[in-house]
Structure 1
Amino acid sequence: MKTNFLKSVLLLIISLTLFSCSSDSDETSAPAPCPQGYTGANCSTQITPSKIIISKIRVNVFPNLNGTNTWDSVINVAPDIFVRLGIGDGSNSTITLYTSNYINDALSNGSNYFDFIPTTPIELLFPTQQHVLILGDYDSASSNDLMGGLIFNPYNSNNGFPTTITISNSSIPLKFELTVSYVW
């Protein structure tokens, strides 16, 4: 009787072990979820964002002179810079999304910068379309001066989702940095 009891216990242990092993092998594990903004079997395909949010526009480099003259009509006065962001190429058909206040007497020395932080973050609702970022010199007595502008596409389908987008052209010289986040 003791032998039959031990055999029964042993069979029960073997059955439970086999059942638990076969149960594990029958289950298919769910793939890990992709990080935000990615999809596909191996999470390598970027999802085009529905919008890009700009929380800050930084101006790193700009021309201090208008050719050989100062931007302002008063001698030895630095430009009063402002930024304008729009959808388009800067022509009359460009739709303005944001125009900043101006910063008085700004001079670019290559290591300083000027931040423009909108009261409400700027929403780029068409991240795959062409946009333009313009730097201007505010003039209260006459019309504002265009110091330079750069055309860019906010979203690139193969560069990940950087939190800072750099837009520059050394021949002007002009350099902006946009602090951004993405919505899918």
Structure 2
Amino acid sequence: MRNRIFKLILLSILTTAYLGCSSDSDSDNCETISCLNGGTFIDCECECPQGYTGINCSTQVTPSRIIINKAIVKVFPNTNNGDFWDLAIPEAEDALPDIYITFQNSDLDVIYDSQTFYENAISGEGTFFEFTITPNIQLTTFSDPYLINIWDYDTVDEDDFMTSFGFFTYTSNNSFPNTITVVSQSNELLVDLELSYEW
């Protein structure tokens, strides 16, 4: 009888040990997944970085907010159809535009109006004009376009509208760039926008 009990105990211990090893080995032999977009394969699954989801981190998560922090104006029209922007000023150098920017939403409401301008700015000579957006523009709607406008500030007359172009800040496959470029040859406009994201 004692031998029988001993054999049963021994059999129970061996069965538990075998099943435990079998379970561990299954977890060690899980199928490896190639994680995209900087994801890391840990514990048989992909741990996705912020902004991505899915089995292999291939799906973008739409951000809750996109923030425009800076606009770098690189190209704008130096003349108004061949005329200086400030016709009343006799000196050519001083007749160059004093540029500033505004942003509008799709309803054409102004959502940002720069409080600073660059005096006698000229485009095309390798000089860029940086506008730090303060307070920054926080966008929560991405399906509609926004407009960036460039103006010539005037002290005597009304400010001159120089050029404008529409842009989208987000698409479902754009990989969250830190900078987007708003460009239009026909409108003589090239502006880099520096962005950040919140989810």
Deviates more, 1:25-34 or 1:160-169: 25-34
Letter in 2 for 1:84: T
Asked if structure 2 preserves the Cα contact closer than 8 Å seen for 1:129 and 1:154, the reply is: no
CA RMSD of aligned residues (A): 2.3
**Partner of 1:22: helix, strand, or coil?**
helix
Structure 2 residues without counterparts, runs of 5 or longer:
1-10, 31-42
In the TM superposition, what is the alpha-carbon distance from 1:20 to its structure 2 partner? 5.7
In the TM superposition, what is the alpha-carbon distance from 1:179 to its structure 2 partner? 0.4
CA–CA separation in structure 2 for the residues paired with 1:32 and 1:40: 8
Asked if structure 2 preserves the Cα contact closer than 8 Å seen for 1:60 and 1:110, the reply is: no
TM-score where L is the length of structure 1: 0.83
In the TM superposition, what is the alpha-carbon distance from 1:119 to its structure 2 partner? 2.5
Q: Does 1:95 align with 2:109?
A: yes
In the TM superposition, what is the alpha-carbon distance from 1:82 to its structure 2 partner? 0.5
CA–CA separation in structure 1 for the residues paired with 2:125 and 2:75: 6
**Partner of 2:196: helix, strand, or coil?**
strand
In the TM superposition, what is the alpha-carbon distance from 1:21 to its structure 2 partner? 3.4
In the TM superposition, what is the alpha-carbon distance from 1:95 to its structure 2 partner? 1.5
TM-score where L is the length of structure 2: 0.77
Partner of 1:6: none
Partner of 1:42: 56
CA–CA separation in structure 1 for the residues paired with 2:183 and 2:57: 31
Which of 162, 182, 190 matches 1:175?
190
C-alpha distance 134-126 of structure 1, shift in aligned 2 (>3 A): same
Deviates more, 1:157-166 or 1:104-113: 104-113
Query: What percent of counterpart residues are identical?
Result: 40
Partner of 2:22: 22
In the TM superposition, what is the alpha-carbon distance from 1:128 to its structure 2 partner? 2.6
Which of 115, 121, 128 matches 2:143?
128
Instruction: Provide the aligned length of Structure 1 versus Structure 2.
Output: 170
CA–CA separation in structure 1 for the residues paired with 2:148 and 2:55: 37
1 or 2 for the larger relative contact order (CA 8 Å, sep ≥6)?
1
